[in-house]
Structure formats: C-alpha cells, structure tokens
Structure 1
Amino acid sequence: MRLHPPLADPRQPRLCVGLLSGTSVDAVEAALCEVTGTGDNVRLRLLSHVSVPFPRELVARVLGPQDAGTLSTLNFELAEHFAAAAKQALEKAGVSPEQVAAIGSHGQTMAHVPPGANAHPSTLQIGEPAVIAERTGIPVISDFRTRDVAAGGHGAPLVPYLDWAVFRSREAPRALLNIGGIGNISVVGPRLEDTLAFDTGPGNMVLDGLARRVTQGRLACDLDGTLSRRGLVIPELLAELLAHPFLALPPPKSAGREGFGEVLVDGVWARHTGRPYDVMATALEFTVESIARAYETWLLPRFPGLEGMYASGGGTRNPALMERLRARLAPLPVQTLEALGFPEGAKEAALFALLAAEHLVGTPANVPSATGARRRVVLGKLTP
C-alpha cells in the first residue's frame, strides 16, 4: 500500500506541539519540539514544556459514567483545555502559531479494547481536533492509535518510537520505563525492529484512585509517598492483585482503565476501608512488583546485557515508589530520564510532537514488535 504523499520536506525542521492527557487524567502536558530528519535519521529538540492541571470537577466527570451525550460534551470541552495548553507552550518559547507545522494531540483515552478482549478491538480518544485547530490556527494531527489497531495491533504502546529515535544507545540495549497511569517499558537498541515494548500493568492508576478515597478528594495522588509510607503491605491483598490475568499475558499487550481503573479500586476500597494506609502501601507494592516481574520474565532472558533502566512519568515523583523499585530491581541501575539529559515530565508530550512530524513526511511510526500490528503504518489523522 502506498503511503500518503508527504506534506513536508523531511530535510527541513518542523516545529510541532505534542499534547497529551494521560491515563491519570490530572493535566494536559504540552511540549513544543523541533524535529529534523525522519526515520533512522530523525532528531528531536525540546523547546518548551508546560503542564496545565485540569479542574477537579472535570476530572470527576471524565472518570465517571458516560453516555453518548456526556462523551460528546467532554470531547469538545477537553479540546478547549488542550488548545489553551498548546498556546501556553508556544508563549513560553516565544514562538508564533504561524511558525508551527502541526499540533499532535493524543487526546484523552476513554476506552481501550485490545485484541483478544472481544471480537472487535477498538480504542477511543477524545479532545476534538477541529476545536484545537480553530482555537490555535494550527493544523492538528490526532487519533494516533486507531491505524495500528486497524492493522491488527494494540495501538499501544506508542512511546517505543520516541524511545528508539531519541534515547537508543549504540553500545548496549537500554530500558525506558514510563510510570504514568499505566506502566509501560521499552528496550531499544540500534535497530527499530529489535525493540521490545509493552504495558506492565498499573502505574499510578490504582494508587491515585485510592488516594482520592483515603483523603476524601483532598489529594489526587500519593503525594511524595506520604500516604503509602504510613502503611504496611496486606499480603493477601497483594497476592490477589498480582493474580490479575493481565500480568501473566506475554507481549504484545496493552492495558487501561478497563483493567486497573475505578472498578478494581472500588472493590479494593470496599473490602479494606478500615485500613486506608495499608491499602496504599499494598497498591504501591503492586505497581513495583508488576514492573519487576515484567522485567524478570520478559526482559532479563532476552537482554542479559541491559545497560540500565531510565524512568519517567508521574511515578518518578513518588520517592517511596522509586526507592522500592530500585531495591527490587537491584543490581540493575534505575535512574530517571534526566540522566540522559531530557526532562522526564515532557517525554510523552514530546512523543506526539514527534509522531505529528513523522505524519507530515509520510513516515510510518508504529513499532509492530511492540504493538503486534501486521505492518508499519503512518499514524494519525489530519485536521487542516
């Protein structure tokens, strides 16, 4: 199948804004990047990054029950927040909208049904690109996951392309861990086709949901590990959580709120309301152990010479989680992405700037070895 005609010259720098609202549903992350080249020769330079929190009541509505009407409203309402964040990223860098080639918007995932879950795999992200284009005056590329799903893949994880393009080493394979709402890991080396990447299970999703219940909404996360440090792990609950069928699946695999969201959190909280801090300590250990077991089962046998692991995402700002993860994975070195000279909070938004830039030149940017797609495809849909 012929790729679409390129809309830009890959030899020329493309300024693109990446927008993301992650599975934690806490803020819009916006990153302005300069991208030059494509494929093996692509280069990315971060120019600015902003994080714009969502209003608390909006978060509650995104996480609440939905029908066609509420989804339609949220689709347009969220887009206003995405557009505002994009404009803030431009203002921070002193760049005008006329200088920007495109905005790459991931949107907000509302449903993710991977292959094997039912007869019709699907994925749904909202945050109307037409609204973003109207508010900013910049073309928008969105809906990055759907083409990979159509090609037989999970549509996730998408971040391995950035991990390979920006952070690979020529000397030894390198692991990149993201601890967002869901945890995901990539191992990258010189060749894209050798990349291994998959979702590990819960990142902050279970911790965040329980934190809101423990503090009656005062905290949206286990801030600085203050809640989980006050408790002790409940062994029988941890064993139950670690028996989740997703953790035993081989890659490629992807997860979402369907497996680790409000339904799971509600069940845990209903049975252990009287032990709030012990529940938090157990949820933290659940995240750590799911990552560690994924490493031991799928990475260590294939990459015995792994250089180290570089972590990003909101989980890296929880010192209790990072301490446990480093102890559990020792002697493997675990550092944050800053060790590679890149701010960890900007990584996922930078991904969608990169994917937008590759869409403009017609370069496929999915990683079939990670998503399970039948072939490489150009990701995204253009709203001019």
Structure 2
Amino acid sequence: MYKADNTQPLTVMGLMSGTSVDGVDACLARLSWQSGKLHHDILATHSVPMPADLRERLLRCMAEKSIQLEEFCRLNVAVGQLFADTAFGLMQAHNISASQIDCIGSHGQTLYHWPPTQPGMLGGTLQIGEPSLIAEKTGVLTIADFRPRDMAAGGQGAPLVCFADQLLFQDDTVGRCVQNIGGIANVTVVPSHAHLKEHDVPLMAFDTGPGNMLMDAAVDHFYQKSYDPDGAIAASGTVNEPLLQHLMAHAYLSQQPPKTTGRELFGLPCFQELLLGFPNIPPADWLATLNRFTAASIVDAYQRFVFPVYPVSEVIVGGGGSLNPVLLNNLRDLFAQHAHAISVKTHADFGIPDQYKEALAFAILAWASLLNRANNLPACTGASHAVVMGKHVR
C-alpha cells in the first residue's frame, strides 16, 4: 500500500476518450512529489482511433438519450476492449512490462452526464469501458470511474482535469487559464502563488460551452467528414452574424459556475434545431460561424467570470482545438478586442503534447488515488468536501 506522503517516483498510464469520441489516447508518465511540487516526465504516448461503427453506435445512443440493456452491455465491453488494446499497444510498442507500471487511470467514455442544477441536489454520470478488461489484458492495477465519487459529495463530477492543471501550471507570478477544447470546452483558472497570498480566492474551473462538437456535427452533415482539418473549410467561409448572435444568447453561457455541459446541450440535436431555424446558410459559413462561436463563448466566459476576479496574462490551449489555427486566431482576435494583453499558447509550449494532455491528467488523478490523496477540487466541482476519486480494479 502506498502512503499519501510517498515521494518515490511512480509510473502511471492515463487513458482518455473525450466528447469528440474520436479515439483513445494513452500517456505513460513518471510522477513524483518533491518539495511541495509535482514532477512529471512523459515516457511514452499511444493513440488508437475509434472504429467508425463503434463511434456511430456511441453517438446514436448519446443523441437518443436511451439504450437497450443488451446494447449497453455490448458497448461497455467494446469500449473496454478498445481501452485495453490502447494500453497494451503502448506497452508493446515501447517494450514495457506490467511490472514497470504502478497503475493505469481510465476515464472511460461518457455516455450521459446529469449534473445537479441546484444546491443540495444529487446528479449522476455514466462512463463506460469496463476497467476489468484493462486490468485483465495488461496485468496492471486499473483505477476508473472517477466522477461518481465527487457527485456523491454533491459535486458536478466535472471538471476533473483542473486538479492536474493546478499541479502542472501554477506559477509564482504569472496568472494562467488552462483552456481545453475537445468536444466541449472547459477552463481551469490557475492564479499565481503571489495572487493567492494577497487574496483569499479559490481555484475556478468550469465548462465554457461547446468546443469542437458543433463544428464536427456541421462538417459531418455537409461534407461527410469527422472534422475540419486545420479549419480550412471555416477559413473559406464568412461568419453569419444573426446566427452568431443567436448562439451567443444561449442560456448556458450566462449560468454561474460551477457548471458543466455536454452533448445533452450542444450535441447533434442542438445542431439539427439550428438547421431548422437558419435553413439558407452556405455550408462553409456554418463552419466559419460555429468556429467563431466556440472562440466567442470562451472569451465571453472569461469576461463574465474570470477577469473580474483573477489577473490573467496567459491562456494555455489544449485538446483538438489547439490544432485548429482558425480557432486559435479567433481566440487571439477576440482577446485583443475585449481584454487586456493575453498571450495564447498551447500545451506544446510547456513540453506536453497537446493531444495527450487529458490522458496525462488522468494519469495524475490515478496517481493521487493510488496514494489515497484527495483528487477533486470542491471549489471547481461544487462538491461539499474533498474526496479520493476512482474505483480500483486489481
């Protein structure tokens, strides 16, 4: 049994599949706690694309918000096998044995997320991808199903990566926002140590709104592609201002944190409703507008909830959105219009591969769980107290 004050390096693998449902990412890292700081070295990464038929089945049940019990069981096994294959594939590719890995942290694939909408209410969440299959195939202790423990304490069960963001990016003098743009976009505000010494303010993290989700729905509808490579289609279009203003009036954007969202609000049904309301917009203009909306909703969230409380000078963008130059340019343009000087960077600027940041985060969450250290941040999730998240499968 490891102890919470353990300082010896541990080797942990994180597995992640997000709301884009495009594949499973694995990140193997050596983690240690020294002199009050987390030290990390990324040892290996590996990725496996989501098979098209499995992705279609997952997206269908997410859109319909219902599933037959038999299909649920089959999906749980299929996703679990994919996660197990990804973990084992990393081990094979880098000649790493089970004895060299202390544990694996698996996020699983979210099917449905039902956060509490008022104080005192309990919510629920469902991530599939049977962890027993990962433990069986790899021979490594697997820690999974992190979110329910936070929700049992009254939290939203999200965002969870803020725990890792604080450990990875907190600086003595520089205030930062760590902005992930996957299917959904979420931010972690990481105040500088100097600011925290002068002001009694908690860490803040919340989902800002859609990331790539609406853009992916549009490019699939109009072009039968899974995403817009390099934002090329968006770059060829023109922003439709009436559509953009309609999107910016979405009630979620003004909702106070802590808050989380997902396909329930910004998935395929949302896009189909928009198509009915705005039937004559050219396809490229849809992509241009939805790209701008993702950036504008992020900047709007900072203006409402972040800048009034925290001095921020750097925004660190990760996730698939960090690979979209049009989206990054939209962010830089909007920050220049509406905020003081903001430097927009990516995780790669800090030596972390953008694609594998969330997998690294779940390695860190599993590391803390293994050490019996609390790994939620109640100020971010709304939980009543700190808890140790993650179910252990040996």
Coarse TM-score class (shorter-chain normalised): over 0.9
- Give how far 1:341 is off: 2.1
Measured after TM superposition, the shift of residue 273 of structure 1 is: 5.3
CA distance in 2, matches of 1:246, 1:40: 37
Structure 2 alignment gaps of length 5 or more: 62-66
> How many Å apart are 1:117 and its aligned residue?
7.4
SS class of match (1:227): helix
1:235–1:352: structure 2 CA closer, same or farther, 3 Å change rule? same
Match of 2:40 among 37, 44, 50: 44
3-state SS of 1:324 partner: helix
Which of these residues, 372, 375, 379, is aligned with residue 382 of structure 2?
372
Deviation at 1:303, TM superposition (A): 1.6
> Are 1:184 and 2:186 matched, yes or no?
yes
Is the CA contact (8 Å cut-off) linking 2:258 and 2:380 kept in structure 1? yes
Counterpart residue identity of residue 238, structure 1 = L
Structure 2 CA distance for partners of 1:96 and 1:105, relative to 1, 3 Å: same
Query: Structure 1 residues 38, 20: closer, same or farther in 2, change over 3 A?
Result: farther
1:301 aligns with 2:308: yes
Query: Which residue of structure 2 lines up, in the alignment, with residue 213 of structure 1?
Result: 221
Percent of counterpart pairs with the same letter? 40
SS in 1 for 2:317: strand
Question: Which range moved further: 115-124 or 293-302?
Answer: 115-124
Q: Secondary structure at the match of 2:107?
A: strand
Q: Report Cα offsets for 1:116-161 as digits up to 9, x if no partner.
A: 1795411110000011111111111001111111111111111111
Q: Which amino acid aligns with 2:203?
A: T
Which digits, 9 at most, give the CA deviation of each residue in 1:261-296, with x for residues without a partner?
111012123444552111111111110110010111
Residue 91 of structure 2 aligns with which residue?
Answer: 90
CA RMSD of aligned residues (A): 2.0
Q: Which runs of 5+ in 1 are unaligned?
A: none
- Asked if structure 2 preserves the Cα contact closer than 8 Å seen for 1:193 and 1:369, the reply is no
Q: What is the rounded CA distance, in whole Å, between the counterparts of 2:103 and 2:274 in structure 1?
A: 43
Aligned counterpart, 1:162: 164
Report what 1:358 is aligned to.
368
Greater alpha carbon shift after TM alignment, 352-361 vs 226-235: 226-235
SS in 2 for 1:24: coil
- 1:1-384 alignment to 2 at 5 Å? 6=2, 10-37=6-33, 40-65=36-61, 66-116=67-117, 120-188=122-190, 189-190=192-193, 194-215=202-223, 217=224, 219-272=225-278, 274=280, 275-304=282-311, 306-330=312-336, 331-384=341-394
8 Å CA contact 2:15–2:106 kept in 1: the answer is: yes
Post-superposition offset of 1:88 = 2.2
CA distance in 2 between counterparts of 1:11 and 1:106 reads 25
* Residues 15 and 33 in structure 1, CA contact (< 8 A), matched pair in contact too: yes
Post-superposition offset of 1:41: 3.2
Cα deviations by residue, 1:281-335 (Å, 9 ceiling, x for unpaired) = 111111011001011111111123x231111110011111111111111231111
Q: Quick check: 1:104–1:355 contact (8 Å CA) kept in 2?
A: yes
Q: Give, as a single letter, the amino acid of the residue that structure 2 aligns with 1:354.
A: I
Count of aligned residue pairs for this structure pair: 377
For 1:339, give the aligned amino acid: D
Q: Distance in 2 between matches of 1:200 and 1:39?
A: 33
Residues 302, 341 of structure 1: CA spacing in aligned structure 2 closer, same or farther, 3 A cutoff? same
TM-score (norm 2): 0.91
| Structure 1 residue 223, shift from structure 2 partner | 1.3
